[in-house]
Amino acid sequence: MSKEVYDAVLLTAEAVGVSMASKKLLKEPLGAGYLFKMFDKNGYAEEAKRHNMAMESLTAKREKYLEKVTDRRNKVAQPREELAETNSDIKSTNQSLELVRRINELTRKTLPRKPQLSNHYKPSPEMEEYMALFGLLVGGAVGGAAYLML
């Protein structure tokens, strides 16, 4: 668009320059009016009609062009939005996979052994005898009670 504006400014400057030069040299401005004066009345009307038709055609073509450009931008914008959404989904999925990996890593490690009294206390030989006798007595009592119940 800036190129079109630049071209329009150059053309306008050229037209003004030619008009001013022709006014000084020929004592009559050269320009579109001068060219149309050269036509007879019918020629001027026909040329004006052709010019107007060309301007209408140009306007219609520009409108179609702008519609196509807008449609294209909209068609490009939709996949870009989908891409952004997909990237967000991918990021979310990657975060979820990282959490699963960390969970798996933590669950694969063996748990420390549960502390037990036997790891810290070793009974004396005398206590071991008493415990054996107590076990036999309790075992015999439980066995006898079970026998009587049957």
In a domain, 79, yes or no: no
In a domain, 21, yes or no: yes
Print pLDDT tens along the chain (150 aa). 667 777 777 667 766 676 666 666 666 555 555 555 555 555 667 777 887 888 899 899 999 999 999 999 999 888 888 888 998 889 999 999 999 998 888 888 777 788 887 778 787 888 878 777 777 776 666 676 666 676
How does pLDDT run across 68-102, given as a tens digit for each residue?
Answer: 999 999 998 888 888 889 988 899 999 999 999 98
pLDDT at 116: 81
Residues 133 and 137: their CA atoms lie apart, in Å, by: 6
Instruction: List alpha helices for the chain, DSSP H.
Output: 2-26, 32-38, 41-108, 117-120, 125-149
In a domain, 20, yes or no: yes
pLDDT at 29: 55
In a domain, 17, yes or no: yes
pTM: 0.37
pLDDT at 21: 67
pLDDT at 32: 54
pLDDT at 130: 76
In a domain, 76, yes or no: no
In a domain, 10, yes or no: yes
Tokens of 3: 């190129």
Number of domains forming the structure of the chain: 1
In a domain, 138, yes or no: no
pLDDT at 129: 81
Instruction: State which residues form the domain around 26.
Output: 1-30
Complete DSSP assignment for 22-50: HHHHHSS--SHHHHHHHS-HHHHHHHHHH
In a domain, 97, yes or no: no
Kindly list the distances between the CA atom of residue 64 and the CA atoms of 4, 68, 71, 107, in Å, as whole numbers in the listed order: 18, 6, 10, 64
CB 32 within 8 A of CB 40: no
CB 29 within 8 A of CB 23: yes
Amino acid identity at 141: A
CA atoms within 13 A of residue 39's CA, in its CB half-sphere: 12
With tokens 């891409």, the residue in question is: 83
CB 31 within 8 A of CB 21: no
